[in-house]
Amino acid sequence: MLTGKNILLIISGGIAAYKVLEVIRRLRDQGASIRAILTQGGAEFVTPLSVAALTENKVYQDIFSLTDEAEMGHIRLSREADLVLVAPASADILAKMAAGMANDLATTALLATNKPVLVAPTMNVEMWNNPATRANIATLESRGILRIGPAGGDLACGETGTGRLAEPAEIIAAVQDFFARQDGPKPLVGKKAVVTSGPTHEPIDPVRYIANRSSGKQGHAIAAELARAGADVTLVSGPVNLPDPVGVNVVRVETARDMLASVQAHMPADIAIFAAAVADWRIKDQAGQKIKKAGDGALPVLQFAENPDILATISQSGPLRPALVVGFAAETENVVDHARAKRARKGCDWILANNVAPDSGTFGGEDNEIHLIAGNDVQSDELWPKQSKIAVARTLVSRIARHFDT
Ligand code: CTP
């Protein structure tokens, strides 16, 4: 299954490092070639000799080794792989990756690589739960780094909880899944898609604006997944702190009116997905200069004007209407009923309804629970259980592929 695949394996320090020898053996059994980098910590747990024997390749350990650099420079080492696998990935190496450090061969190769990276973390449960590790994982995932594990259970340190290295079979399955997705069918080749994402900023004056808490994670994940399925994707994004998804044409806008203009400029399209949290209102008369305090205690009064509804405009755009128009419905109560009414009112084909009540953690969070409403018919509702926004994007894109296939 992995014949011809080159994997750069980075072994960092951790009591579970011994399991990686089994991972090497199984990857080799499937036909993969492996070059390994052993960190100083990793070498405390497995010997270079056992890694070299199993990979049947030289093991790289030192960034300042003249022989290594002459034979295979660290840049080439990181570029010649089809996949970089960090197993086990310690809290330390994850932190260095998140910070962009490059103070040994492993971290330098990770910073220099332009290839996909899969990490298999392992650490003590409190280290895993520490806000620093949580933030590092979120940062790495927002950059597209793939992760397998850690699992829950008894830990080597005697404590119980999340932190065990994924089993070798699970790590192999994750590697296979990566290659299957990368090399797998591209059901949306030839389809043009436009996706909106993020909030909009509506200026009050040159220095102030109205915004909302949308992070753009869901829209960006959808754009990335559509591109992976072979679609030609344009992502029209409001201001977000996210990297551009790989293989996607990104247009940055600020206001709802700019977002509509950009979406219209990218029509016709086959698929349009509106995941942006567009501001419903803008300030009617934006001040040309910064509004100053009156001095006498008088307060400024802001008058609103309604913004164009991008989803409704495109859903009702006649001959230019994309074949499939999908909207979201952010609701805090009666989710399905409100979303069904919203679908009919706006005229889109599908609505993905999600609960954005403050206790749901949806806005800005990692997870999303979705009802797909594809008609007025009750049976056409589908409830997708709470899953990551990336998983929601995958489910949606495979649903879209099925839609165009039938
Ligand atoms: N939407 C849009 N343009 C707007 C407002 C919303 O394109 N000016 C899109 C959103 O991207 C989303 C859908 O419409 O796909 C529904 O957004 P939501 O905020 O749930 O609905 P609203 O239309 O704002 O309705 P309400 O605030 O009454 O719930």
- Look up residue 265 and give its amino acid: A
> Is 151 a residue whose pLDDT tops 90?
no
- Tell me the C-alpha to C-alpha distance, in Å, between residue 350 and each of 286, 298, 331: 35, 47, 16
Handedness of CA 147, 161, 51, 70 (dihedral sign): positive
CB burial readout 154-177, b (16+ within 10 A) else e: ebeeeeeebbbbbbbeebbebbee
Cα→Cα distances 67→43, 54, 200, 286, Å:
19, 22, 54, 65
Residue 155 sits in the same domain as residue 304:
no
pLDDT, averaged across the chain: 92
Does the CB atom of residue 89 touch ligand 1 within 6 A? no
Chosen domain end from 128, 156, 183:
183
Residue 359 has pLDDT above 80, yes or no: no
pLDDT reported for residue 216: 94
Confidence label for 376 from pLDDT (cuts 50, 70 and 90): low
Q: Is residue 288 part of a domain?
A: no
Structural domains in the chain (count): 2
* 309-334 average pLDDT score: 95
Ligand 1 atom with least separation from CA of 327: 15
pLDDT, tens digit, 9 for 90 and up, residues 282-314: 999 999 999 999 889 899 999 999 999 999 999
Any binding-site annotation on 290? yes
Boundary residue ending a domain (147, 165, 183): 183
Q: Which of 195, 310, 370 to mutate to test the pocket of ligand 1 (most atoms within 8 A of CB)?
A: 310
Sorting pLDDT into bands at 50, 70 and 90, what band is 153? Answer: confident
Question: Is 311 flagged in the annotation as binding?
Answer: yes
Taking residues 315-336, report their average pLDDT: 93
Residue 1 domain-assigned (yes or no): no
Mutational pocket test of ligand 1: of 202, 213, 309, the residue with most ligand atoms within 8 Å of the beta carbon: 309
Give domain status of residue 179, yes or no. Answer: yes
Q: What is the CATH number of the domain that holds 149?
A: 3.40.50.1950
Poorest-confidence range of 5-14, 20-29, 150-159, 183-192? 150-159
H helix runs in 330-388, sequence order: 335-346
Percent of the chain with pLDDT over 90: 71
**Measuring CA to CA, which residue among 234, 238, 265 is closest to residue 247?**
234
Mean pLDDT, residues 64-79 taken together: 78
Same structural domain, 155 and 212: no
Could you tell me which residue, 288 or 159, shows the higher pLDDT?
288
CB count in 10 Å sphere of residue 302: 14
Judged against a pLDDT cut of 70, whether residue 362 lies above it is answered with: no
Q: Which of 183, 208, 240 is where one domain is finished? A: 183
274 close to ligand 1 (CB < 6 Angstrom)? yes
Atom 24 of ligand 1 has which residue's CA nearest to it? 280
Residues 337-352, mean pLDDT to the nearest whole number? 95
- Strand bridging mode 59-60 / 146-147: unpaired
Which pLDDT does position 194 carry in this prediction? Answer: 98
- 189-197 mean pLDDT: 97
User: Residue 251: inside a domain, yes or no?
Assistant: yes
Q: What is the 3-state secondary structure (H, E, C) of 31-53?
A: CCEEEEEECCCHHHCCCHHHHHH
pLDDT at 378 over 90: no
Evaluate if residue 5 carries a pLDDT over 80.
yes
Confidence of residue 269 (pLDDT cuts 50, 70, 90): very high
Report the alpha-carbon distance of residue 262 to residue 8 in Å, rounded: 41
> pTM of the prediction?
0.70
pLDDT for the residue numbered 364: 64
| pLDDT (0 to 100) of residue 294 | 87
Would you say residue 198 has pLDDT above 60?
yes
Length of the chain: 406
Give the pLDDT band of residue 358 (cuts 50, 70, 90). Answer: confident
Ligand 1 atom nearest to CA at 351: 15
Among 106, 87, 50, residue whose Cα is nearest residue 172? 87
Which is more confident, 379 or 209? 209
Helices of type H across 267-376: 310-315, 335-346
Q: Does residue 380 surpass a pLDDT of 70?
A: no
CA of 383 to the centre of ligand 1 (A): 20
pLDDT-derived band at 323, boundaries 50, 70, 90? very high
Same domain, 171 and 242: no
Domain of residue 74: give its range: 6-183
Does some domain include residue 210? yes
* Positions marked catalytic: 157
Q: What is the pLDDT of residue 377?
A: 58
The answer to whether residue 176 is domain-embedded is yes
